[in-house]
Amino acid sequence: MSTKDYLEKDYYAVLGVPKTASAEEIKKAYRKLARQYHPDANHGNPEKETKFKEVSEAYDVLSDPKRRKEYDEARTLFGSGVGGVRVGGGGGGFPFDFGDLFGGSQQGGSPTDRLGDLFGGLFNRGGAGRTTTGTRPRRGQDIESEVTLSFTEAVLGTTVSLRLTSSAACAACSGTGARAGTTPRVCPTCEGTGAASRNLGSFAFSEPCRDCKGRGLIVDNPCPVCEGSGRAKSTRTIQARIPAGVDDGKRVKLKGKGAPGENGGPPGDLYILTHVKPHAVFGRSGDNLTITVPVTFAEAALGAEIKVPTLKGMPVTVRIPPGTRNGQVQRVRGRGVARKDGTKGDLLVTFEVVVPKHLDDKARELLTEFRDATAGEDPRAGLLEKARSE
């Protein structure tokens, strides 16, 4: 991607959020669009696949506070694109090459160097001197995938098989783009640099060469498989480790598991959006697991010891204090979700007092005696008066 193209892209518009959007708003917008345009849900639809790539590219920049700050500063500095740059005042000014600005050395403290550092971070470019675009190592694309986990898998961690499709070097031509037995030639227009200088009067900027499309090479006899691009779709299956404690909607990053790089460049990253199915018994509150346990009226009133299940572990004994109220919560330490530091959250046990629907004569007689024996305690004492006083 050229510097001009990068600056002219409005990532906020791509995600449909304002420039002042919070990180949570950006994440929410991304998740909605990712589901809508994901290739798995739009087989054979190149337009939605392209839109998915644009959405992922926008989120990669705006979800990273440092890259978002650099992007905002760049667009503020150059208006809404490179075409809005004005150098000098009035009819004067001086010409300069944006290729020098953006590809300059990272050493030194001149304004050009500092701007080179700024855009180097944004465009994954940098380093000293000029290199041939066609042979410059390029980082592989990031890949987005989704996985649905059971509640237990999400809490304890698991390994899943993922089938990934990404761009890779064409196997038929080994990435050269030329038919077997032939070789590309150096582009005569840009002399192999992959870039051409465009003069706009008071300044000039560097952009990808139109004849070789930035590769620095011309393919006269293109490979029939990749049609001269040197890239082809590659499908592979990997085993991805999902760490313990992931929650629904969490985005897991696996570094270096994305698309292969070009010309010896590093691979991209793999981002896995997790969906977690609910559990029939357990719930989750942050790092704590939750469970609702039914208890009888007698157990709540008199106190008792009961067995409570844990997630994939032995049951624990929990003591119900005498006089326990409906909805009262008791904490069992260390039986929750694993944290990054190796500790675990807790199991929060909520007692639900169950009132029997059917009573035999004996039970009814005993409860009547109990009611008469506790008639002096009115749980609603003062309720009516308190309600009137407000």
**pTM flag (> 0.85):** no
**Widest CA span of the chain, in angstroms?**
106
| Whole-angstrom distance, CA of residue 350 vs CA of residue 294 | 8
Backbone angles phi, psi at 36, to 5 degrees: -70, -40
pLDDT tens column, 112-158: 444 444 444 444 344 334 444 445 677 888 889 999 999 999 999 99
Q: Give the tens place of pLDDT for each residue, 79-121.
A: 544 433 433 333 333 333 444 444 443 333 434 444 444 444 4
For residue 178, the 8-state DSSP code is B
Rounded CA-CA distance 205/221 in Å is: 31
Q: Are 345 and 353 in contact (CB under 8 A)?
A: no
pLDDT at 124: 39
Q: How far apart are CA 209 and CA 188, in angstroms?
A: 10
Domain range 283-372, CATH architecture = Sandwich (2.60)
Q: Which residue has the tokens 């920049």?
A: 61
> Would you say residue 229 has pLDDT above 60?
yes
Whole-angstrom Cα distance, residue 54 to residue 183?
33
Give mean pLDDT, residues 288-305: 94
User: Which long-range CB contacts under 8 A does 319-327 form with residues at least 24 apart?
Assistant: 320/295, 320/351, 324/295, 324/299, 324/300, 324/351, 324/353, 325/300, 325/351, 325/353, 326/300, 326/351, 326/352, 326/353, 327/351, 327/352
Average pLDDT over residues 42-62: 84
pLDDT of residue 152: 95
Report the CATH fold assignment for 139-179+224-278.
HSP40/DNAj peptide-binding domain (2.60.260)
- Compute φ and ψ for 164, nearest 5 degrees: -115, 140
Please provide the average confidence, as pLDDT, over all residues in the chain. Answer: 79
**Percentage of residues of the chain with pLDDT beyond 90:** 34
Q: How far is it, in rounded angstroms, from Cα 258 to Cα 241?
A: 14
pLDDT of 215 reads 76
**Predicted local confidence at residue 120, as pLDDT:** 42
Residues of the chain with CATH 2.60.260.20: 139-179+224-278, 283-372
Distance CA 2, CA 133 (A): 11
Q: Name the residue with higher pLDDT: 117 or 308.
A: 308
